[in-house]
Structure formats: structure tokens, C-alpha cells
């Protein structure tokens, strides 16, 4: 992988607004990668219905994808800071396409090697998906002016919400019409769009020596520098801790307890469908709102928005009309984007450019990497302590963790002179 910068002949130095051609290209590539990422697990789930995979094999394949996704994040952070981020996106997207290709050629084949190849393909696809995340996020400041970054991050968040909703739905519908393998081929095409669509901004890497080979020692040193940089910013560490708690516990309520409550209290998936739709709609509203709103104490406002997720578990505590939990999910969706957009913007603004991708990868690794622990633990916890006790505990944690994160002085604005010193 070449060092220093993208090809100068293809580079564009100008930073524009969120409506600039360069950002639109970046947004297009990110949206394509998001659609491909969200669609793949649902398409693989349909292979179970077609009889091409057992439930045990599906679980192993999805676990391999998750392991590849999480394992690639810190590596991608180091590579994106040491080398050109645009080329990390290119190679990561092509890697994901290769992984999906392995899934296509092994679907429907018998033999002892087929499950192993599928597991390998899922892990490779997951690595490509995980490597794209910090690289895409770290590219935003390269193509967008400082005063337009919040609107740009809002547009990126809208993309995430739309792809999270449209990816599984459209992929499932397409797979029913044309089959799983053809749908996986469409996912490969989306990864190719992710590989070629983003612009080629000029990048000046300040990490490492020019032309130096990335050894294990240099990788660990670079990763350690990312952790050191993160620790220099009290607002970041406090906010990351709060976000990790909300995702680990709050999202576990949504993923495990919500379907159970929907079945037991409402006799079917009505609550599940209405609540998840309301959450997505709320997130879109929140992203549109924060695209233009500049609150005076941006950090406190963002953390207060994150704390609104406590309404989700609290709304499931009692047998209330369905409109109550649906409204709670709507408000929680608004709040999560009131947090996400300023959070990403502050990270891009406050972190040194040469360490931004590593800090971003640490953000994703901790906030999403610990989520499987919550998902695995919440069902045994409900059996041991009861659903109501677990919901109350999760709601209290989602409320108080962001409030505690407000305590550092720099959390008020997600910035401080001492942080930048």
C-alpha cells in the first residue's frame, strides 16, 4: 500500500460544503457500503429458509463476520492514519467484495470444506466492512470545510439510518424475487461502488517514516498513540463511556426484550415493527434538526440527547397502550442523533488529523464491540432477576451514564483549551 498520499494527479485540494461534488461522492460511497453491510446478514438468513444452511452454520458464519468486523477496526485506524485514507477505503471495499464472492461460490455446495469457506468468506467480508468505517469517517474533514462539517455529518447519519432500514428490506425483497446468489452479486456491486465513488483528496500523513514498512511493533506503537490521544480529551473518554453503556444495555433491550414484550403483550410483532420504525423516523428527524441547530452548550445538549434512550426500557416496564413505547422510541431516535452528529463533528475537529482515524476506530471498537456482551447477558439476567428489574436497571444506566459524562468541564462543548494543549 503506497505511503503518504493519494495520486497527486487525481487529488483535489479544495474543501467545500456538504453539497459539494466531493462530499456527494464520499456520501455515495459510504451509503453503498452501508447498504451492503446491513443487507448481508438478512440475505444469509434467507439461505436458512432455502435449506442451503443450517441454523448452527448460520450462527457460525455471522459470528465470523462480526469477528472480522471488530478485528479490522483498530487495524484500519492505524492504516488510515499511516497511509492514504482513500486507498484504505478502496482496498477495504474490494476485500469485502472478495469475501461476498466466496459466499456465492459455496452456497448450495455440500462437503466438509463448504462451511469453512463460507466462514472464511464471511470473516473477510466483515473485515472489509469494519475497515471502511473509520476510513470513511476520517475522510469527512478532508473534503468538507470546518464550518460545514456538522451538516455533512448529519447527512452521513441520515445515510446510516436510511440504509439500516432500506438495506434489509430491499435485500430481502430482491432475494425473494431473484434468489440469494443474485442478491449477493448485487451486494458485490455495491462494494464496487464504495471502492470507486469517493473522491481523491490530497492527504499528508504525519505518522511514521516515509516508506517505512508497517511491522507489528510499529502497529502496536501507532495504536498506542491513538489510545494516548483519546485519553488526552476528558470529554471524549467520558462520552465514549456513556455511549458504550447505552449501546451495550439499551440496544440489548431493543434486540432481546422488545420482541418478547411485543409477543406477550400485543400478541404479535405489532410493537416491534412500530417501535423500530418510530426510532428510525426519530433519528432522521434528529439528524435534520441538528444539521442546522447550533446549541450553546453543544456537548451537554448531545449527552442529554443520549440520555433520552432511557425512555425505551422505562416505557416497557408497565402494560401501557402501544402508543407510549412507540413515542418513547421516536424520542430516543431524535436524541441519539442529537448526540451522534455533534460527537462525530467534535472528534473530527478536536483530534489531530494524523491520529483521527485511530481515535475513530477506538470509538467504534468500544461502543459497538461490547454490544455482543450485553446481548448475550440480558436473557440470563431476565431469568435470574425478572424482566422488570432488568428494564429498570438498563433505564437507570442509560439515564445516569450520560449525566456522569457531563461532569468533565470540557464536556460542556466537547472541546477545551486544555484538551488541545
**Residue 314: which pLDDT band, with cuts at 50, 70 and 90?**
very high
Span 66-112, pLDDT tens digits: 889 888 888 888 888 888 888 899 999 999 999 999 988 887 666 66
pTM value surpassing 0.85: no
With beta carbons less than 8 A apart as the criterion, state whether 133 and 9 touch.
no
Distance, in Å, from the CA atom of 89 to the CA atom of 224, rounded to the nearest integer, reads 23
Would you tell me the crossing angle of helices 149-178 and 270-290 to the nearest 10 degrees? 150
CB < 8 Å & 24+ apart, contacts of 273-277 = 274/322, 274/326, 275/325, 275/326, 275/329, 276/329, 277/165
Most confident of 19-33, 99-113, 164-178, 206-220: 19-33
**Residue 50: which pLDDT band, with cuts at 50, 70 and 90?**
low
- Interval 215-244 mean pLDDT: 90
- For residue 18, the 8-state DSSP code is T
C-alpha grid cell, residue 266: 400485543
Q: Is 86 exposed, middle or buried (0-12, 13-18, 19+ CB in 10 A)?
A: buried
Position 411 scores a pLDDT of: 94
**Residue 335: which pLDDT band, with cuts at 50, 70 and 90?**
very high
Question: Is a pLDDT exceeding 60 seen at residue 271?
Answer: yes
Per DSSP, the residues of 170-228 read: HHHHHHHHH-HHHHHHHHHHHHHHHHHSS--B-----SS-TT----HHHHHHHHHHHHH
Span 107-154, pLDDT tens digits: 766 666 777 888 899 999 999 998 998 888 888 888 888 888 888 889
Position 128 scores a pLDDT of: 93
Position 49 scores a pLDDT of: 64
All structural domains of the chain, each given as residue ranges with its CATH number in brackets, are 8-202 (1.20.1250.20), 228-420 (1.20.1250.20)
Distance, in Å, from the CA atom of 54 to the CA atom of 59, rounded to the nearest integer, reads 9
Q: Collapsing DSSP states into helix, strand and coil, what is residue 303?
A: helix
Position 240 scores a pLDDT of: 95
- Please choose, from the candidates 79, 76, 62, 83, the residue with its C-alpha nearest in 3D space to the C-alpha of residue 125: 62
Distant-in-sequence, close-in-space partners of 194: CB < 8 Å, separation ≥ 6 = 29, 30, 32, 33, 36, 89, 93, 96, 132
Position 11 scores a pLDDT of: 40
Span 280-291, pLDDT tens digits: 899 999 999 998
Distance, in Å, from the CA atom of 335 to the CA atom of 341, rounded to the nearest integer, reads 10
**Residue 57: which pLDDT band, with cuts at 50, 70 and 90?**
confident
Q: Is 301 exposed, middle or buried (0-12, 13-18, 19+ CB in 10 A)?
A: buried
Position 419 scores a pLDDT of: 44
Position 421 scores a pLDDT of: 39
Span 366-411, pLDDT tens digits: 888 777 788 788 888 888 899 999 999 999 999 999 999 999 999 9
Distance, in Å, from the CA atom of 218 to the CA atom of 205, rounded to the nearest integer, reads 15
**Residue 26: which pLDDT band, with cuts at 50, 70 and 90?**
very high
Distance, in Å, from the CA atom of 15 to the CA atom of 18, rounded to the nearest integer, reads 10
Position 372 scores a pLDDT of: 79
C-alpha grid cell, residue 304: 442529554
Beta bridge partners of 201: 12
Position 417 scores a pLDDT of: 59
Mean pLDDT in the chain?
85
C-alpha grid cell, residue 87: 486507498
Span 338-363, pLDDT tens digits: 999 999 999 989 998 888 889 988 99
Amino acid at each position: 500500500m503506497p505511503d503518504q498520499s493519494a495520486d497527486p494527479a487525481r487529488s483535489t485540494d479544495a474543501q467545500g460544503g456538504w453539497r459539494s461534488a466531493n462530499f456527494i461522492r464520499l456520501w455515495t460511497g459510504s451509503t453503498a457500503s452501508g447498504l451492503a453491510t446491513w443487507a448481508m446478514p438478512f440475505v444469509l438468513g434467507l439461505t436458512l429458509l432455502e435449506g442451503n444452511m443450517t441454523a448452527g452454520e448460520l450462527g457460525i458464519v455471522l459470528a465470523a463476520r462480526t469477528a472480522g468486523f471488530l478485528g479490522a477496526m483498530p487495524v484500519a485506524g492505524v492504516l488510515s492514519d499511516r497511509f492514504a485514507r482513500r486507498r484504505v477505503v478502496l482496498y477495504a471495499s474490494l476485500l469485502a467484495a472478495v469475501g461476498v464472492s466466496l459466499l456465492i461460490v459455496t452456497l448450495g455446495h455440500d462437503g466438509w470444506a463448504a462451511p469453512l469457506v463460507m466462514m472464511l468468506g464471511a470473516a473477510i467480508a466483515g473485515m472489509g466492512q469494519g475497515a471502511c468505517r473509520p476510513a470513511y469517517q476520517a475522510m469527512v474533514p478532508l473534503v468538507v470545510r470546518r464550518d460545514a462539517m456538522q451538516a455533512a455529518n448529519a447527512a452521513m447519519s441520515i445515510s446510516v439510518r436510511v440504509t439500516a432500514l432500506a438495506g434489509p428490506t430491499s435485500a430481502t425483497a430482491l432475494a425473494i424475487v431473484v434468489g440469494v446468489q443474485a442478491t449477493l452479486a448485487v451486494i458485490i456491486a455495491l462494494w464496487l461502488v464504495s471502492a470507486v465513488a469517493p473522491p481523491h483528496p490530497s492527504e499528508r500523513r504525519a505518522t511514521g517514516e516515509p516508506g517505512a514498512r508497517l511491522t507489528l511493533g510499529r502497529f502496536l506503537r501507532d495504536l498506542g498513540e491513538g489510545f494516548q490521544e483519546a485519553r488526552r480529551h476528558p470529554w471524549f473518554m467520558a462520552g465514549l463511556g456513556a455511549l458504550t453503556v447505552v449501546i451495550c444495555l439499551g440496544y440489548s433491550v431493543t434486540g432481546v426484550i422488545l420482541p418478547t414484550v411485543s409477543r406477550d403483550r400485543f400478541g404479535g410483532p405489532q410493537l416491534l415493527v412500530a417501535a423500530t420504525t418510530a426510532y428510525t423516523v426519530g433519528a432522521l428527524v434528529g439528524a435534520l434538526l441538528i444539521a442546522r441547530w447550533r446549541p450553546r452548550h453543544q456537548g451537554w445538549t448531545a449527552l442529554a440527547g443520549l440520555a433520552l434512550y432511557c425512555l425505551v426500557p422505562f416505557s416497557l416496564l408497565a402494560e401501557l397502550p402501544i402508543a407510549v413505547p412507540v413515542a418513547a422510541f421516536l424520542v430516543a431516535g431524535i436524541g441519539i442523533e442529537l448526540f451522534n452528529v455533534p460527537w462525530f463533528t467534535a472528534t473530527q475537529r478536536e483530534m489531530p488529523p494524523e491520529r483521527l482515524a485511530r481515535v475513530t476506530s477506538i470509538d467504534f471498537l468500544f461502543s459497538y464491540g461490547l454490544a455482543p456482551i450485553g446481548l448475550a447477558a440480558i436473557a440470563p439476567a431476565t431469568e435470574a432477576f425478572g424482566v422488570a428489574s432488568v428494564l429498570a436497571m438498563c433505564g437507570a444506566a442509560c439515564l445516569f451514564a450520560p449525566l456522569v459524562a457531563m461532569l468533565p468541564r470540557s464536556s460542556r462543548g466537547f472541546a477545551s483549551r486544555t484538551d488541545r494543549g
